[in-house]
Structure 1
């Protein structure tokens, strides 16, 4: 049975700490729903109603466009090992621009000033509902390792090449919404 909570508690925090993958889901009116898997290496809990993740350059930037247009964001963890559990965080998200004051402050405070290769922006979720449910239908998988592919891809690019890639692939969503990644938008 699903259970709802107003904020994260210790059991939720323990569960999050043991996960290797997180999914984010967003949409705006008239757009496709975006559902993205992410590693948990840059996911952080700030307080019981706030989480962030440091978002890295990818082939699209749908979440940023959807948050700019609508703001709704859902984050989901599901256990692929251990007790079957699904944890969803619902709320309002916002993008923190790389190089901006909020980004710089959180980078220093939460990430010890260490920015991963290809860092693009941060996404902050203000949680208004936490929900757990059974994960009985989720298969059991064994975690083996992180993929080094994104690191290698970003490492092979200069900052100018990353900027050019973002301008080509990350400035607009697949449905044409601006992502706000560049000041001129």
Structure 2
């Protein structure tokens, strides 16, 4: 049976720190809009406190999470044990975008390795943690991070990334503006 907690316990934080992948879920308020679910990798997540997390978000084919957060702030992060003891852990929270150049960005960027293509950080104020068994999650062995996204961003360069973000990241699939679109 699943268990619910008001904040992350030390064992939750330890489990999260060992994961190589996590998933981000968000959705617009409209029941007609797209639910977004994105896998995230690299060394891009930090737990700031028992009720606070932040991840470095790299440029991708869309920017659904930022658009959904601008509209309603709802976000879920999910972690699943693909090695060792089975467990699924979800962080439910309110999220917001932190853009480069922001004072908060300057404060937090040192927590992360420099990753080419970083476009924003997503800060999550966690209001509930849920764990469940994960008995049905298969075992996988971690082989390493792909370097394809980083190489793609390096090849684009900053000017190319800015142009790409204007074309692909300013508006969600449902026409909602993302925080990147607001700064354009």
- 2:106 paired residue among 96, 104, 107: 104
Aligned residues: 182
1:37 aligns with 2:36: no
Equivalent runs, 1:1-185 vs 2, <5 Å: 1-30=1-30, 31-108=33-110, 110-111=111-112, 114-184=113-183
SS in 2 for 1:156: helix
Relative to the length of structure 2, the TM-score reads 0.95
Indicate the RMSD between aligned Cα atoms, in angstroms. Answer: 1.2
Relative to the length of structure 1, the TM-score reads 0.95
SS in 2 for 1:91: strand
C-alpha displacement of 1:163: 0.1
| Large movers: runs of 4+ above 3 Å | 182-185
1:6 and 1:121 map into 2 onto residues whose CA distance is 27
SS in 2 for 1:152: helix
Unaligned 5+ runs, structure 2: none
- Cα–Cα, structure 1 residues 184 and 53, in superposed 2: closer, same or farther, change >3 Å? closer
2:36 and 2:103 map into 1 onto residues whose CA distance is 28
- Cα–Cα, structure 1 residues 104 and 78, in superposed 2: closer, same or farther, change >3 Å? same
C-alpha displacement of 1:182: 4.1
Unaligned 5+ runs, structure 1: none
SS in 2 for 1:13: helix
SS in 2 for 1:4: strand
2:86 and 2:114 map into 1 onto residues whose CA distance is 33
SS in 2 for 1:163: helix
CA deviation vs aligned residue, 1:88-133 (integer Å, no higher than 9, x gap): 000100000122111111113x23xx53100100000000001100
